[in-house]
């Protein structure tokens, strides 16, 4: 077998998957986005820019998404980083695996069930009841943007923790000794060595969470009480309620383009931050 045909065989499954699951659906979405809504919903072939002209009607959903996705990513990062740092650097190696498993445990049940658990925790009989017991009355948590943020951080934490953990775990501890030896206090060592060295993990984690957040609809629907509305929710409504496939496709296509633009900008930024670092440049 030639090298070429071997390469072909190696790439064929992924290529087919890519074609069937990504290229074809995206093409369909693109074609639909230039069509029209049928009288009873669905799609009628046409070539019109009307759907795109209507995009401002979902401006609020885009705005909310473009605020939530970075904010949620940042919040996840701020909570995940210390945790990953503890697991990788501080935790007793004997317990490391067990602690890591604890981080994944929530992934064993569906996000739907887990979010329902949060409905109770954030609802009147949950945390607000505890707060009331210590004298902080009438705190409303459920169905607020804050509840959505909690749900997001909770749901996506493992996705953020893992790349950072892997990165920090592989970090050569001798580099930290070298930094200390050269006169850097622990905090400065963290800023000048640990943090820049874990940049690839941070970049990967942020990218994963950000991309997923751009399409998120479940957590806002469940923990936001339907009052916090994102592009994902707009899409659910357009496809499943008003069945305006053409308009829905235009919104979806715009979301994909926005995602591509922001991810590209993000990659540029990371590459510049990492200058020509080998480990980051490989990303």
Partner 1 sequence: MNEAAYAPPSGLQAAKPAAGPIAELRNVSKRFGEVLAADGLNLSIEAGEFLSFLGPSGCGKTTALRMLAGFEAPSSGDVLLDGEVVNDLEPYRRPVNMVFQHYALFPHLTVAQNIGYGLRQRRPRPPREEIERKVTNALEIVRLEGFGGRRIWELSGGQQQRVALARAIVNEPKLLLLDEPMAALDRKLRKEMQIELQNIQRRLGITFVLVTHDQEEALSMSDRICIMRDGRIVQTGSPRDLYDRPRNRYVAGFVGSSNFFDGVAAAVSDTETQVRVAGGIMLSGRALAPVTAGQAVTLSVRPEQVRLARTAADGDKAGWDVTVLSRIFLGEHTEYLVKHDGLGEFMVLTPRQAELSDGPFNAGERLVAFWEAESALVLTQD
Partner 2 sequence: MTNDTDYISKRKFMEELYRYRRGSVTRRHFLGVTGLGTATAVLAAAVPGLRPRPAFAAGDIGDRVVLATWPNYHDPANFEAFTAATGAAVDVNVFGSNEEMLAKLQAGGSGWDVFVPTNYTITTYVGEGLIEPLDAARMANYDPAAFDARFAGPGNVDGTLYAVSKNWGTTGYAINISKNDNVTPTTWKEFWDMTMDSFSGRTMVHDYQLTTIGNALKYFGYSFNSVDPKELADAEKLLLDAKPHLFAINSDYQPSMRSGDAWMTMCWTGDGKQMNRDMPEIVYVLGKEGGELWSDFYAIPKGAPHLDAAYALIDFMLTPEVNAKEALFHGYPVADSRVNALLPAEVLNDPILYPAAELLDALEFGAAATLTDPNRAELLARFKSA
- Chain contacts with partner 1 (rule: CB under 8 A): 172, 174-175, 177-185, 188-189, 192-193, 196-197, 199, 274, 276-279
**Per CB under 8 A, 41 contacts partner 2:** yes
Q: Under DSSP, is residue 138 helix (H, G, I), strand (E, B) or coil?
A: coil
CB 202, min distance to partner 2, A: 32
- In whole angstroms, what is the distance from residue 47 CA to residue 31 CA? 9
Give me the least distance between CB of 143 and partner 2, in Å please. 5
Contacts of 115 (CB under 8 A, 6+ apart): 151, 155, 218, 219, 222, 223
93-104 helix and 145-170 helix, angle to the nearest 10 degrees: 150
Report what 274 binds from partner 1, partner 2, none; CB cut-off 5-8 Å by kind: partner 1
b/e map 255-280, b = 16+ CB within 10 Å: beebbeebeeebeeebeeebeebeeb
Distance CA 100, CA 91 (A): 10
Q: What is the closest distance, in whole angstroms, from the C-beta atom of residue 110 to partner 2 in the complex?
A: 9
- Residue 133 as a binder of partner 2 (CB under 8 A): the answer is no
Are the CB atoms for 46 and 36 separated by under 8 Å? yes
- 33/147 Cα distance (integer angstroms): 33
Nearer to partner 2, 58 or 76 (CB): 58
Cβ atoms 246, 33 nearer than 8 A: yes
Q: Is 90 in the site for partner 2 (CB under 8 A)?
A: no
Task: Between 90 and 173, name the residue whose CB sits nearer to partner 1.
Answer: 173
Site for partner 2 in 191-250 (CB under 8 A): 221, 225-227, 229, 233-234, 237-244
CB-CB neighbours of 68 under 10 Å:
24
From the CB of 72, what's the least distance to partner 2, in Å? 18
Nearer to partner 2, 142 or 164 (CB): 142
Residue 3, number of CB atoms within 10 A of its CB: 7
Please, what is the minimum distance in Å from the beta carbon of residue 89 to partner 1?
A: 16
Beta carbon of residue 87, minimum distance to partner 2 (angstroms, whole number): 28
Which of partner 1, partner 2, none interacts with 92 (beta carbon under 5 to 8 A by kind)? Answer: none
What residues pair up with 244 in beta bridges, in sequence order? Answer: 42
Binding site for partner 2 (CB under 8 A): 37, 39-42, 57-58, 60-61, 64, 113, 116, 119-120, 123-125, 140, 142-143, 221, 225-227, 229, 233-234, 237-244
């Amino acid at each position: 077998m030639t090298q070429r045909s071997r390469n072909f065989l190696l790439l064929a499954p992924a290529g087919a998957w890519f074609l069937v699951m990504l290229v074809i659906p995206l093409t369909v979405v693109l074609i639909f986005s230039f069509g029209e809504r049928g009288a009873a919903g669905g799609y009628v072939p046409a070539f019109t820019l009307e759907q795109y002209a209507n995009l401002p009607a979902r401006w609020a959903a885009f705005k909310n998404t473009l605020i939530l996705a970075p904010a949620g990513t940042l919040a996840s990062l701020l909570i995940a980083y210390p945790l990953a740092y503890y697991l990788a650097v501080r935790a007793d190696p004997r317990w490391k695996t067990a602690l890591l498993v604890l981080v994944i445990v929530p992934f064993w049940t569906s996000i739907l069930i887990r979010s329902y658990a949060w409905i109770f925790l954030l609802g009147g009989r949950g945390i607000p009841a505890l707060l009331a017991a210590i004298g902080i009355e009438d705190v409303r948590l459920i169905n607020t943007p804050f509840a959505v943020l909690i749900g997001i951080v909770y749901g996506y934490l493992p996705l953020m923790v893992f790349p950072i953990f892997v990165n920090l775990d592989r970090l050569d501890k001798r580099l930290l000794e070298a930094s200390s030896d050269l006169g850097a206090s622990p905090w400065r060592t963290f800023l000048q060595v640990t943090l820049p060295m874990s940049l690839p993990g941070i970049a990967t984690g942020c990218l994963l969470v950000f991309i997923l957040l751009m399409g998120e609809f479940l957590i806002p629907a469940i923990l936001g009480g339907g009052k916090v509305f994102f592009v994902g929710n707009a899409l659910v409504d357009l496809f499943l309620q008003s069945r305006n496939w053409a308009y829905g496709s235009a919104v979806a296509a715009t979301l994909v383009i926005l995602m591509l633009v922001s991810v590209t900008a993000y990659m540029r930024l990371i590459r510049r931050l990492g200058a020509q670092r080998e480990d980051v440049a490989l990303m």
